Amino acid sequence: QVHLEQSGAEVKKPGASVSVSCKASGYTFTGHYIHWFRQAPGQGPEWMGWINPNRGATRYAEKFQGRVTMTTDTSITTAYMELSSLGSDDTAVYYCARSQGISLTDYWGQGTLVTVSA
Amino acid sequence: EIVLTQSPGTLSLSPGDRATLSCRASQSVISSTYVAWYQHKPGQSPRLLIYGATARATGVPDRFSGSGSGTDFTLTISRLEPEDFAVYYCQQYGTSPYNFGRGTKLEIK
């Protein structure tokens, strides 16, 4: 069955970068886009962007342009999201999700808590 | 960008009740139906319930139904089961950025 396993919680200082991984299994990795979202406490999920593992094409939300990089390693069916220049407002749970077509996400990872604190 | 407003913020009902959750978009959603609903329980990842405004995702019980088009969408749970108490989000996935609403918390009365 489809499963997305994310890396563990991270604590970072302001100004640092964080990388979150998302290991996919149970389906053809190159056949589905991977999206990244984040969710701050009390808020709805926020879309950050997607990557097409087949060709590596990406689309980022304007809010994160210049600060986020999404990559994949198809040999190990893993997607990565790196966010730089962290601030306290980047504290959130970060999720990866598989999509049907370009934008409908049907399976999500378990989430990775990223805490930014001095 | 399209902003989604969900109401009510919190809905207090009892098992067996009917729940009606609303989602209003700031502008018409592309193709009028690119709206999804997700259920989110604490410590779990969001679960896709409804897509295309009305289609149930695989394995979703038929007590969940979606309706609406254009800017107004509704998720209805016909008879609440104890496991249905959670937070529900609507999302539009037709136009980037694929925004979510702030959610409706469905709690036990």
Residues A57-77: tens digit of each pLDDT: 999 999 999 999 999 999 999
Average pLDDT estimate for B87-97: 95
Q: Is A66 exposed, middle or buried (0-12, 13-18, 19+ CB in 10 A)?
A: exposed
Q: Hey, are the CB atoms on A106 and B57 less than 8 Å from each other?
A: yes
pLDDT of residue B33: 81
Give yes or no for residue A110 having a pLDDT over 80: yes
Min CA distance, B5 vs chain A (Å)? 11
**Which candidate, A34, A47, A36, A61, places its Cα nearest to that of B100?**
A47
Task: Check residue A75 and report its DSSP letter.
Answer: G
Average pLDDT estimate for B76-91: 97
Mutate to test the interface with B, among A3, A47, A98, A100 (most CBs of B within 10 A): A47
Q: Are A80 and A72 in contact (CB under 8 A)?
A: yes
pLDDT of residue B30: 79
Give yes or no for residue B32 having a pLDDT over 80: no
